[in-house]
Structure 1
Amino acid sequence: MHMKTLPFTFTLMILTALLFLSCSKRDDDDSLSESGPIIHAVGKINDKAIYWKNSSVTILGKGPGASEAVGMTMNGADIYVVGYEINANGKYVARYWKNGSAVDLTDGSNDARANSIVIAGTDVYIAGQEMVSGGTTYIAKYWKNGVSVSLTDAGENAISSDIAVLGNDVYVIGERRQLNWLNPVTCYWKNGQRTDLSDQNSAADNQAIYIIGNDVYTMWSTIYNKQGQIQTRYSKNFSQPTLIQDGTSSSRGTSLIVQNNNVYIGGSGVSATGNTMSAKYWKNGTPVTLSSDDSQALSIVLLNNEVYTAGYQNSTATYWHKGNYKTLPSSSGSSLIRKIIVKDN
C-alpha cells in the first residue's frame, strides 16, 4: 500500500442507479455484528486518522492538524497503525499508534510519513520517508524498532511504500525521482541494495510487496502514456513480470495478497461505461468489478478463501465482500479505508 505525497485524481461522474446495482448491492445483513467476522480498518474521516473495529470508530489523530492512518498490522492482541499527523508548525510527523497510543518516529522538524508496517518476531519495521534537514528532498527509509535506516541520499527524491521481512532480509519497495520530482522509477531495496523495476519510459504510481513462505511477490503500477492511463505488473521472486491484460486501457493496482499460488491485486480500472474509474480486483490477472461508481479498492485480504477489499466509493469508506458493499460509519464529510484486516470472531 502506497501513500502518495499528492492525492490521486479521478474523473468524477454520476452513473445511474441501475448500472450501479448491476455490479454490487448494499449489504444490509449483520456482518458488522458480534456474530460475524471482525472488521479492522484504518484510514481517515475528513482530515483525521481513524481506526474502525466493526461499527466502532476510534479517532487516532487527536491534534489540531490533519492526519491519516495508512497501514496496519496485528501482533496477538496488539494493533499497530502507521501514518502521519501534521504538528502545530505545519510539519508532517511520521508516527505509529499501538493500541491507540501515538509514538512519533520523527521529531517534527522535517516533513515525514510512515506508509507500511510489518512485525517480524519481536522487531517492528516501518517504511516511509523523511525530508532532509533544511532541504526539499525526501529520503526513502525504514525504521527498525524506532531507529531509522536511510535507503537513499539527498541526490534524488525517493519514498518507500511497503516493507516485508524474510529471515534476515529486509525488502522495501517504493520509487525514486529526480530532484524536480520528474521521471519516477519503481524500485526495491533488499538490505539497502537498490534494483529498479521500471524505467523512465513510464511513471511510477503504486507499489506493494508480499511474502508468503519463502516467496517474495511484488506489484507495481505505472502511468504509460500522456493520457494518464495505467498498467499494472506483478512478479514472483523478481522473475519476469506479468502484465495485467484485461482488455481495458487502464488498470491501477494498489494492494497485493497471495494465497495458494493465486495472486490477488486490489485497485481500480475502467468502468463498464468507460467513463469513470471503479473499484476492482484481479485474480491472476482476471478482473472482478466491485462498483460502477467513482471508487477504488486500496486494500485486499482473504479470510476462509473469501476476498475482502476496501477503499472508498463516492467519497465514503467502503468495503466489498461476495458482491456486496458496506460503508463504515463516517459521520459527515469524506472518508476512506487505506487498510483492512478481517478476523474470525
Structure 2
Amino acid sequence: MLKNVFAVLSALIIFNSCKKDNDQGAPPPPVQPFDVITTASIFNPSTGNYEAVYWLNEKRNALESGGVDQAFAYGIEKQGSDIYIAGSFANTKGSDDRLKPCYWKNGKKIDLTDGVDIQARSSASDLKWFNNALYISGETDLDPMLWKIKNGMLESITRFGVAGNILAVRKAGNMQLYGGKLYIGGSQKKNVNGNIVYTIGYWVVDENDQPSFTVLHDNLPYALGFSMSVSDKGVFIMGEGGTAQHPVPTIWTKTGQHPVNQSFEANYHRLHTGVPDSKGNLLLNVLDIRLYQPVIWKVSATGTHQLIKPAVPAGAQGFCESLDVKDDKLAYVYSYDKDQKSYAAYVFNGKTVELDIYKTRLSNINSIKLVSR
C-alpha cells in the first residue's frame, strides 16, 4: 500500500514539474488597439464659465483657456503622439464678446483669428491631417472656412463664398479623408429663375488646396447637411430635407435617399451623425423627442434598423451625442438627466465609463473618436 502511495506521489511530482516547464499560463488579454478621446464644454456653476476639456479614455484633461471665460471643444485629430482639438472661445465679460475660432495642440490654445473678418461669430469644428499639414474646418458668420496649418504656422485661409445664382453655402460639421482627398459635406442655396432651391453635395479638397463642389442632388425644395461619411461603401450625407417649414431627417447617397428615410418620423426624430461599418451598416445617433432616451440606430443597406441603447436609470432622459466606428468596433458617448442633475458616459468594447462632469444640465458633450495607439 505504501509503495502505491509513493508511486502516485512520484507521478504527481513529475507531472507538476513538466507543467511548470511547459505551461506558461493563460495568454494575456489582447491590448486594446484604440484609445477613446471625448471632448466637451462643461459648465462650472461656481464660476459661470464653460470649460473646454477632453478625456483620454477615463482621464479628464483641461484645455487651456488663454484667459477667456468661455471655451468650447469639438472635433478631434491625432497625429503621432500629438492630440489636436478644434473649438472656439469668447470673452463675454469683456468689450469684445464675439465667438472666435481656435484649436488646441496637446492642450495649448492657438487662436485662428488672424486674417479673418468676424462680424458676430466664428468657430472651428473639425480637423484632419492631410497633405503633410493640419486642415481645420469651421465657419465665419455662417460661411464655411478652411484653415491650413503647416510646420506650426498658418499657411492659408479659404473662405467658401458665393457666386452667380448661389445665395448661401453651408457645411456639415465634420470632415472626412478618403482616397487621398479631403471631403466636406454641405449644401448650396440658389435662386433659379426666381425660385429658391437647394443643392446637397460635398466639397473635395485636392493636393493643391483647391475645393470643388460635387453635386449629389440638385434643385431640392430644402436641404442641409449635418455630417458626412465617405468609405468604400459610398458617400452618405446626414441632414434635413423636406421643406424649410417642415424639415425631414434625411440621408442622401449618390443613388438617392437612403431607405432608412422611411423610418424617420418628421415630427419626432432628429438626425445627427452617422458612420458605416465594413458590412455596409450605418450607425446613426437619432434623437427621438418622444422617448428622450440615448439610442443608436444600426441600419442595414435595405433600411431596416435595430436599436442600441445604453442602460440609464428609470425616469432619466438623455441623448447619444456622438459615435465612431473603427475595425467594426463601436464607441459612443451619451448623457442623461436625472433628479435635476446631468451625467455622461461613453461605451466601448462592452465597457461603460462615466465621465467626470460638474453634473450641471448646461454642459455639452461634443465628440468622440477612436484613435490608434
TM over 0.5: yes
Structure 1 residues 53 and 189, CA gap change in structure 2 (3 angstroms): same
Question: How far does residue 198 in structure 1 lie from its aligned partner after superposition?
Answer: 6.6
RMSD between superposed Cα atoms in Å: 3.5
Structure 1 residues 121 and 204, CA gap change in structure 2 (3 angstroms): closer
SS at 1:90 equivalent: coil
Matched, 1:58 2:74: no
SS at 1:244 equivalent: helix
Residues 183-225 of structure 1, C-alpha deviations (whole Å, 9 max, x = no match): 876442234333364755345262223345xx65222221536
The aligned residue for residue 174 of structure 1 is: 186
Q: Give the counterpart of 1:45 among 33, 42, 45.
A: 42
Matched, 1:70 2:80: no
Question: How far does residue 313 in structure 1 lie from its aligned partner after superposition?
Answer: 2.3
Could you tell me which amino acid in structure 2 is paired with residue 149 of structure 1? T
Q: Give the counterpart of 2:285 among 257, 267, 270.
A: 267
The one of the two structures with greater contact order (alpha-carbon pairs below 8 A, sep at least 6) is 1
The aligned residue for residue 224 of structure 1 is: 242
The aligned residue for residue 14 of structure 2 is: none
Counterparts of 2:335 and 2:190 in 1: how far apart (Å)?
Answer: 31
Structure 2: where are the runs of 5+ without partners?
1-30, 44-49, 206-210
Report if the CA contact (8 A) 2:186-2:225 is conserved.
Answer: no
Could you tell me which amino acid in structure 1 is paired with residue 346 of structure 2? Y
The aligned residue for residue 305 of structure 1 is: 328
SS at 2:73 equivalent: strand
Residues 249-284 of structure 1, C-alpha deviations (whole Å, 9 max, x = no match): 15433223233242333312437xx45464323232
Could you tell me which amino acid in structure 1 is paired with residue 306 of structure 2? P
Could you tell me which amino acid in structure 2 is paired with residue 56 of structure 1? K
Could you tell me which amino acid in structure 1 is paired with residue 61 of structure 2? T
Larger fraction in helix = 2
Question: How far does residue 52 in structure 1 lie from its aligned partner after superposition?
Answer: 1.0
Residues 291-314 of structure 1, C-alpha deviations (whole Å, 9 max, x = no match): 575333232223553321124323
Within-5 A mapping of 1:130-279:
130-131=140-141, 138-145=142-149, 146=154, 147-153=156-162, 156-160=167-171, 161-167=173-179, 169-177=181-189, 186-191=200-205, 192-194=211-213, 195=215, 197=217, 200-204=220-224, 206-211=226-231, 216-222=234-240, 224=242, 230-235=248-253, 238-245=254-261, 247-249=263-265, 250-270=268-288, 274-276=290-292, 278-279=294-295
Counterparts of 2:135 and 2:100 in 1: how far apart (Å)?
Answer: 17
SS at 1:232 equivalent: strand
Residues 126-159 of structure 1, C-alpha deviations (whole Å, 9 max, x = no match): 111113xxxxxx3212122232112223874433
Moved over 6 A (4+): 34-37
Question: How far does residue 231 in structure 1 lie from its aligned partner after superposition?
Answer: 2.0
Matched, 1:335 2:356: no
Counterparts of 2:189 and 2:70 in 1: how far apart (Å)?
Answer: 26
Q: Give the counterpart of 1:102 among 92, 105, 109.
A: 109
Report if the CA contact (8 A) 1:39-1:53 is conserved.
Answer: yes
Report if the CA contact (8 A) 2:127-2:135 is conserved.
Answer: yes
Matched, 1:287 2:287: no
Could you tell me which amino acid in structure 1 is paired with residue 332 of structure 2? T
SS at 1:262 equivalent: coil
Report if the CA contact (8 A) 2:187-2:223 is conserved.
Answer: no
Could you tell me which amino acid in structure 1 is paired with residue 242 of structure 2? Y
Question: How far does residue 72 in structure 1 lie from its aligned partner after superposition?
Answer: 0.3
Report if the CA contact (8 A) 1:231-1:243 is conserved.
Answer: no
Within-5 A mapping of 1:4-15:
none
Report if the CA contact (8 A) 1:151-1:189 is conserved.
Answer: no
Counterparts of 1:263 and 1:257 in 2: how far apart (Å)?
Answer: 8
Report if the CA contact (8 A) 2:136-2:148 is conserved.
Answer: yes
The aligned residue for residue 15 of structure 1 is: none
